[in-house]
Every structure is written in structure tokens, then in C-alpha cells.
Chain A
Amino acid sequence: MNFVLAAIYAGLISVDRFAAFNFMLSRPIVIGFVLSIIFGNHYECFYIGLVFEALGLIDVPFGTRVPKEDSFGAFAACMLFIILPISHSDDFILGFLLTIVLIFPVTFTTLFTRTLNKQLLQRQQAKGKVRPGQLLALGLLISFIRGVVVYSAGTLILYSLYTFIHGHLESNFNLLIFVLMVFTFLSGYILRFLTVHSSLKYIVFGLGLLVGWVIL
């Protein structure tokens, strides 16, 4: 039942990201929260969401640009580690690397969806009667199906690749420290991305670090 819920959620992610709502159900950190509510692996999902969110924040969908599928990254990586709990910390590296590779073909399917939408529009234009309502309904359906099919297939491919490669490297180091260090590195990207006057930025950030350390 939980997997059916996850598949339906995958469809909603795709719709929310490209076709309707824009409620941000498709943000990686939100995906981490939702999947951890469904399956209960809170910390793994939280840290995966953290890293993919940092990755996606920088990739802003300005104009007609298609951003990388950070939502798929978070969804597939969370699902992988829900199905196969982490036994060694290098599992995490392998899972992350494979997910990053799969993000590219999944992003490409967005272009396919847009092409399909374009063809539907052109077909109606050729017939001389454009029905916007019908096109929107079809677009919504295509986007939902894309989410369910592509995300599920992508997760399955990730799972197969992972189990095939897994087992060749077995070491055990501190997982939290690992993700923490990766996120700290990505924070440098986020900090560069935020548009605040340079010196003020570092003063405010330093103040935040200090206050966070003293208060918490």
C-alpha cells in the first residue's frame, strides 16, 4: 500500500513541478519529509532531501530553461534507501552517484512531455479549432502519467544498478559526518547564489553561525 502511495505521489510531483499547482510538493526536502512520513525512515530521507535541495536551489527555472530533475533525485534516492537500508556508508556514495547519473535522462523526459504538448496543440491548430480546456486536461494527464512511469522506472533501474554494483566496496564510516560535510560544501554554492552585498553577506552569515552555535 505504501508503495502505491509513493507511486501516486510521484505522479503528483511531476504535475506540481511542470503542469499545475506549484505548491512545492516537488521540492526535494518536501519529498524527503513526505516519504519519511509514509515509510518512517526519517533521517535518511531528511539528509537525502537536504543534498538534492541544495543541488536544485541553484538550478533556477528561469524563462524557458528546463531545470535538472532534483525531485527525481530525492525521490529515487529516498526510495532506494527505504527498500535497501544502508548497511555500509559507501552504499550512500554509490546510491548518490547512480542517482545523479539517472537525473539526466529523467530531465530529458520533460522535453519529451513538452514536445507531446506541442504536437497536441499543432494538431488542433491544423484542424482549425483549438480547445484550450481539452489541451490543459490532456497535459495534466500526460504529466501525471510521466511522473508515475518515469519515476517508478527510474527507481527500478537505480535499484537494479545498485544491487548489481553493491558488495564490491565494504567499509564503514560515520554516515552523518559524511552527509554533513557534503552539505557544508554545497552551502558554499548556496551562499554564492544568494544575492546580498558581498561583505554584508559574510557578516550576516557569520552572525548566523555564531547565533546558531551559542543558542542551540
Chain B
Amino acid sequence: MKNMILALKSLFYQANLNHENMQGTGFAYMVEEAAKLKGVELDEDTKVKETEYFHTHPFLANFILGMWVKEKKIGGEPDFYKKVYSSAFGALGDSFFWHSLRPLCFIMSALIGYNDPFLGLLTYLVLYNAFHLFFRFGGFAIGYELGRDVIIFFNRINFNRWPKYTDTLSTFMLGFFLSFIVKESSDFNPLVLGVSTVYLLAGLAIARKLDIVFGLILILIITGFFLYFTGV
């Protein structure tokens, strides 16, 4: 139960995000709470030190927190491993949660929510937060149990491969979804299908050369003119 309350508090730990110490204030707050929970005494110097720069993926911060308290308790090197794991978990979390899980949730929810916004909303929030909350709520206990070897957990579940699997599924679902909305919007219209194919290829061709915002502005204007002059 106390772990649960700690995990709930961690939902707010980014609130003082700034360019001085990034998530350092939040980490200092969480460290105080977690140390209290595990009966670890913290002196004033340690509390002040923990407000220094800290930045990692927010969903994986509780793993570092658990590891930190464990290392502190056994007289290890909590701050050394905190530094090591913050960048490692930052990269791991960013590539799965920000890079890969969001596209999958988007496509699934758009597909399901096309006719029913409530179902779409539910799909996105449930699918995304199932992963989010699993790591957020389980992180502290796992971090505390494994201590400085917390990376073993991520190796055990092959976490670094998750983005690859998710992206493969997203690629398939993106194709599926495109077929779905083309069919819903225009059914079998050779002109629309042909032009859509050209648009997709154009997007692929310039995606690495032109920033998406400028790409969007360009295509808004071109499409407007195209539809205006063809009278579609």
C-alpha cells in the first residue's frame, strides 16, 4: 500500500522541471519519501545534494529511486549508480514510450475511434497507460529488490527489443489504417487512390529532407490548389 502511495506521488515528480536541475527537485522529494518508507535516515547534506541535476525517463525514475534507497541502506554508491542509470533509462524509456508506443496507440485508437470517440479515447488511454502504470507502479519495488543490478530486470524482459516489435506492428497497422480511411472516405475511386499513392511516396521522399511542419504547410497549400482546380 505504501509503495502504491509512493508511485502515486511520483506522478507529480516532474512538476518543477527546469533547465537548472531538470527533474532534480522531484527526485529529491521522492528520495525523502522513499527513505522514510524504508526507514533510512537522510541528513540535510544528502537532501540538498539530491536536488542537483537529474534527468531520466519519468516512467522509469522509480526504478532508480528504489535502487538509490537500497544502495544507501547497504552503504553502497547510490549517487554513482543514479548517474549511470539516469542516462541509460532515459534512452531506453524514450525509445519505447515516446518513440514507439505512441504511434501504435495512435493508430489503434484512430481505427477504433473513427465512429465512436469514446471508444477511441478509451483505447488510447488504456493501451498506453497499461504499460506506463506497470513500470511506474512496479519500478520502486523492483529497483529496491535488485539494487545496483536493476538493469537485470530490463535484460530479462528484453526491453531494448520492445521498440522494434512495436514499430513493426505499428508499420502494419499504419498500412491497415490508411486502407481503412481511404475506403471509408472515397471507396474505390481510382483518382483518389492514385493521388494518395503519389502523396505517400512524396511524404516518404521528403521526410528526411524537410521538417514536418514545413512539409505540412507545403502540402496544405498544394492540396488546396489541386482540389480547387480539379473540382474534386
Contacts and interface: CB of A to CB of B under 8 A. Distances in A.
A59 B99 CA distance: 9
B61 to A, nearest CB: 11
**Most interface-central of B217, B224, B228 (chain A CB within 10 A):** B224
A184 interface: yes
B118 A22 contact: no
Interface in B101-159: 102-103, 105-106, 109-110, 113-114, 117-118, 120-121, 124-125, 128-129, 132
Contacts of A118: 18-20
A191 B16 contact: no
A24 B125 contact: yes
Contact of A190 (B124, B174, B176, B228): B174
Nearest to B94: A62
A184 B17 contact: no
A97 B175 contact: no
Interface stretch (A1-9, A79-87, A132-140): A132-140
Contacts, number: 306
B167 A196 contact: yes
Contacts of A24: 102, 105, 124-125, 128-129, 132
Interface of A: 18-25, 27, 29-30, 32-34, 36-37, 42, 45-46, 49-51, 53-55, 57-64, 68, 89-90, 93, 96-97, 100, 103, 114-115, 117-118, 120-122, 125, 130, 132-133, 135-140, 143, 171, 173-174, 176-178, 180-196, 200-201, 204-213, 216
Interface of B: 11-22, 25-26, 28-29, 32, 47-48, 51, 55, 58-59, 90, 94, 98-100, 102-103, 105-106, 109-110, 113-114, 117-118, 120-121, 124-125, 128-129, 132, 163-164, 167-168, 170-183, 185-186, 192, 195-196, 199-208, 212-213, 215-217, 219-221, 223-224, 226-228, 231-232
